[in-house]
Chains A and B, each alone.
Chain A
Amino acid sequence: MNVFENKKGKIILLKMVKTIQENKVYLGDLDGLIGDGDHGMNMNKGFSLFEKRYCKNDFSFTDGLKNLGMLLMNEIGGSMGPIYGTVFIGMAEAGENLETISLEDFSKILEAGYNGLMEIVEARAGDKTLVDTLFPTLKSLKTDVVLGVDFVVALDKMKAAAKQGSESTKDMVARYGRSSRLGERSRGVLDTGSVSCYLILAAMADGIKEILKEL
């Protein structure tokens, strides 16, 4: 199958929650290198609160994204609350009327999230932020839509693009966010936001793949 049912999307959100929980310490330690160390904990707090509050019941992919986004935005704060909140809410709103989601739909959904983010942050690709993960991921998806690539294959390519994007931040000098004050000293360390963004996108891809396989 080359589409998945939106209403089966809970598994995707559960995978996103799990990856953040499993990487809480890693993200915190990474953030401590050039940031203030709060990234892992705040992400974990937000995602775990979402799990506790919503995961007893079933929900669709887009409803899950919306509730997670609202929770991060309204209850977690920090930098990541508004950033991921905006991305997830933007994605949810773009896809909430869809019963089934194709590769093209998913690409448009992610693009809506990306566009929402571009309205609130000044960072662009190359600034050593999560944009460096999100941008190439989206580009990979969009290319595969045009090429007519199989959904599962496109998801694997998207994961690889996200990982490569995140790793590309290592050699960059931060120009945005808290670590931008470090200048050259930020070189050599991965940007934490780009790593959490990779983890989330990879979990999203894995979750969708699992639904696609079931069919």
Chain B
Amino acid sequence: MVQRILNDPDNIVDEMISGFLKTHKDIVEATENNRVIKAKNIPKDKVGIITGGGSGHKPAFIGYVGKNMCDAVAVGEVFSSPTAMAFLDAAKAVDQKKGVACLYGNYSGDNMNVKMAIKMAIKQGITIKSVIANDDVASAPKNQREKRRGVAGEILMWKIGGAKAAQGGNLDEVIAAAQKAIDSTRSVGIGLSPCTLPAAGHPNFEIKPGMMEMGIGHHGEPGMEICSLKTAKEIAEKMINIVIPDYPFKEQDEVVVLVSGLGATPVMELYVLYNEIEKLIKTKNIIIYKAYVGNYFTSLEMKGATLTIMKLDQELKKLIDMPAYTMGLKQK
């Protein structure tokens, strides 16, 4: 029996949305589609930024709706893509005749539903262009980057794309900036325990006590290697050795580092991990311009963490520094 706070598991997403809207009423508001949440007071005449994805990744995705990030989000069932209609309604909710950028992660359901939404939007006179995040190094070899999944790097893509739109960038400029952000970003995840879909009631995969899975996906998709649980220092080394050479990040590169928990790992441990990661990055003479540590993109109650690194240039530096005010990311 899994210990959970819920009523009916089939209503968990709707009840979560309801609670979220009540809590963050200064940031977000409901729309006519109960699976689409939009930002309050969206500035006039800007490109709309939307995203969407399955639930269970809090704060992603709705936690990144707000000032200078996403304008609207389509919410799916737990670990399941939102409908094409929800993506379309999200676009309609924020379209100001400047076009809409849909910045989302590379999963087959999302790809199909966004594709259909874009088709439907054309008929309604709305232009949607998309950037598909594929930062998860472990999910496919480098020569098949188009197959890689999107994970926590999506947050940096939203940050950059959202900031570019807030600066007054046109649709192509926003798309180019978001694409550059994700192209400059690499991630890897480790899992220490499985997660359980609320309606299933039991975990759908296993990580035995004392073991860890390198390269695990955001829904528990199998990783590259199952090995015995290591110390924080050794885990950091393994993660760094996957992420750094893939891009590759080089000496004197300025980077953003994002360490996110997967839901059930105490934030304290994330700082222990970051402490080791920071040391390793320094020994490689890579410069950490900015770091984020916390539960930024989770997988229900999985134990584990993801490491995301993004290389900066002058443009990305300015955009990453722009203020943001969302539930998941608040920055002055």
Contact = CB atoms under 8 A, between A and B. Distances in A.
Nearest to A176: B108
Given A77-B76, A79-B112, A181 B197 contact: no
B136 to A, nearest CB: 9
Nearest to B205: A32
A103 to B, nearest CB: 31
A148 to B, nearest CB: 38
Interface string B74-99: 00111111111110000000000000
Interface string A59-84: 00000000000000111111111110
Dominant secondary structure at the A interface: helix
Nearest to B52: A77
A41 B196 CA distance: 13
B219 interface: yes
B294 interface: no
Contacts of B85: 73-75
Contacts of A120: 112, 115-116
A36 B83 contact: no
B83 A45 contact: no
A124 interface: no
Interface string B205-241: 1000000000001011110000000000000000000
A167 to B, nearest CB: 22
A82 B110 CA distance: 10
A38 B83 contact: no
Nearest to B87: A77
B196 to A, nearest CB: 9
Interface of B: 10, 54, 76-86, 107-109, 112-113, 115-116, 139-140, 147-149, 197, 199-200, 203-205, 217, 219-222
A45 B200 contact: no
Contacts of B199: 41
29 contacts: A28-B200, A29-B204, A33-B204, A33-B205, A35-B221, A36-B217, A36-B221, A37-B220, A41-B200, A42-B77, A73-B85, A73-B116, A74-B84, A77-B76, A77-B80, A77-B83, A78-B77, A78-B109, A79-B81, A79-B107, A81-B109, A83-B112, A120-B115, A177-B108, A178-B108, A179-B221, A180-B147, A182-B221, A182-B222
Given A81-B113, A82-B113, A38 B80 contact: yes
A132 interface: no
B214 to A, nearest CB: 14
A30 to B, nearest CB: 10
Contact of B204 (A31, A75, A121, A176): A31
Most chain A C-beta atoms within 10 Å of own C-beta, residue among B84, B108, B220: B108
A101 to B, nearest CB: 28
Contact of A38 (B79, B108, B149, B203): B79
A181 B83 contact: no
